[in-house]
Structure formats: structure tokens, C-alpha cells
């Protein structure tokens, strides 16, 4: 039975791991059971944050431009989108005792920007202290995927974003980062999503039911 409390769930992982798919499956499961739930994503989630997301993507895909966002400019834009998202969607929803499911959150910034692009960790942590305060996910699912499964899913995407086109070595580095972040943390669950089947959906639902 639902305990009528706020709860923050995050799905993390590299492109093609199935996190967006599984977050939607969990959202639909909870919604059918009349549990107040919000499904959102990062970067994005609000009108202003989606505008920032589009700005980042537009810069990346403008191949004719010789001047590209510096990695710190890029990171600041992601953090700006997060600030809007947290203030306007996540915190208000949690205050209303809703379950919030988010497709990516802070761990993606650490995995991609810090470990992937070598952005200074303290730089990000200092900003997070201000925009997040004490906000932390109650439960994080890290979906681990084989390179073969990831590549197959990405090849089927009609619309690709900037992170769908990085090298295999970059994805491997980022996935190792996610696994390192999750290691020995009680509220983190690392699940193999290479098959992304009903068994995985059931695993996720069973874990969530223990908490809410």
C-alpha cells in the first residue's frame, strides 16, 4: 500500500541503456495504481530548461561554426537547466507528497562532465550545494548495458542527440563512472538492462514497492 509520502527516483546510465523506457514503464505502473507520480527528465523538464537543452543541442550540431561552447560553458548550461527543473518541478512535486521519476540527474553530470570531459568536480559540487541544498534522490537505478545492445538501440533511433554519437571508449568510460558512483551505496541498484525485458521491469517495480 502506498505510504503517501514524497519520493524521488532517478534512472541513470549511458545512451541506449533503456533508462527512458524503464522510467516510463514505472511511471505507468504507479499511475495505474492511482499513486500521484510525475515523470520528468534532465536536461529539461520545464519550458525554460527545455529551451536550454535545445540551445546546447543546437550548438553541438552546428558543424559550420568554428566557435563551440567551452566544456565549462556547456556544464553551466546543464546546471542552469537543473536549477530551473529543481525549483519548478522537482521540489514543488515532492512538497505535494508525489513520487518524482527523473530520467537523469546529478550522477550524469559527474559521469559525463567530470569523468568524461574532465570538468573540475569541485566546480560542480560548489554549484550543487547552492541549487540542490539537501535534495538527494531516495532511490537511483543505474542500468548497465552491453555495448552491442546499446549500439543496436541507438542505430534504431530516428532522432539522435549529441550523446548518441560519442565513441565506444567514451561510453565505456562513462559507464565505469556510473558503476563507481553506485558502488557500496544502499539506495543505488545496478541492474543489467542489456535485454531490457519484462524481467527488468519486474525487478524495478519490486524494488520500488519496498520503499513506497
All structural domains of the chain with their residue ranges: 7-211
Does domain 7-211 match CATH 3.30.70.20?
Answer: no
Question: And the C-alpha cell for 183?
Answer: 558502488
| String of DSSP letters for 83-123 | HHHIIIIIHHHHHTT-EEEEES-HHHIIIIIIIIT---HHH
pLDDT in tens, 130-189: 999 999 999 999 999 876 655 555 555 555 555 545 666 777 888 999 999 999 999 999
Give the pLDDT confidence score for residue 152 in this predicted structure: 58
Report residue 165 CA to chain centroid gap.
18
Compute the distance between CA of residue 12 and CA of residue 175 in angstroms, rounded to an integer: 10
H helices of 5-146, in order, are: 19-32, 47-61, 71-85, 91-95, 106-108, 121-132
Mean pLDDT in residue range 21-37:
96
Helix (H) or strand (E) holding 168: helix 168-182
Amino acid at each position: 500500500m502506498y505510504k503517501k509520502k514524497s519520493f524521488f527516483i532517478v534512472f541513470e546510465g549511458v545512451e541506449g541503456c533503456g533508462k527512458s523506457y524503464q522510467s516510463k514503464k514505472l511511471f505507468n505502473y504507479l499511475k495505474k495504481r492511482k499513486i500521484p507520480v510525475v515523470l520528468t527528465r534532465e536536461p529539461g523538464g520545464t519550458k525554460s530548461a527545455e529551451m536550454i537543452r535545445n540551445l546546447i543541442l543546437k550548438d553541438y550540431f552546428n558543424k559550420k561554426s568554428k566557435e563551440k561552447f567551452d566544456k565549462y560553458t556547456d556544464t553551466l548550461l546543464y546546471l542552469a537547466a537543473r536549477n530551473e527543473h529543481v525549483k519548478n518541478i522537482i521540489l514543488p512535486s515532492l512538497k505535494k507528497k508525489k513520487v518524482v521519476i527523473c530520467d537523469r540527474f546529478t550522477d550524469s553530470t559527474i559521469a559525463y562532465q567530470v569523468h568524461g570531459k574532465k570538468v573540475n568536480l569541485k566546480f560542480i559540487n560548489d554549484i550543487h550545494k547552492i541549487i540542490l541544498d539537501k535534495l538527494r534522490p531516495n532511490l537511483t537505478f543505474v542500468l548497465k548495458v552491453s555495448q552491442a545492445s546499446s549500439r543496436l538501440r541507438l542505430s534504431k533511433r530516428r532522432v539522435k542527440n549529441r550523446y548518441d554519437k560519442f565513441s565506444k571508449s567514451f561510453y565505456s568510460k562513462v559507464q565505469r563512472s556510473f558503476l563507481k558512483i553506485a558502488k557500496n551505496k544502499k539506495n543505488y541498484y545496478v541492474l543489467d538492462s542489456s535485454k531490457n525485458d519484462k524481467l527488468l521491469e519486474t525487478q524495478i517495480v519490486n524494488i520500488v514497492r519496498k520503499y513506497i
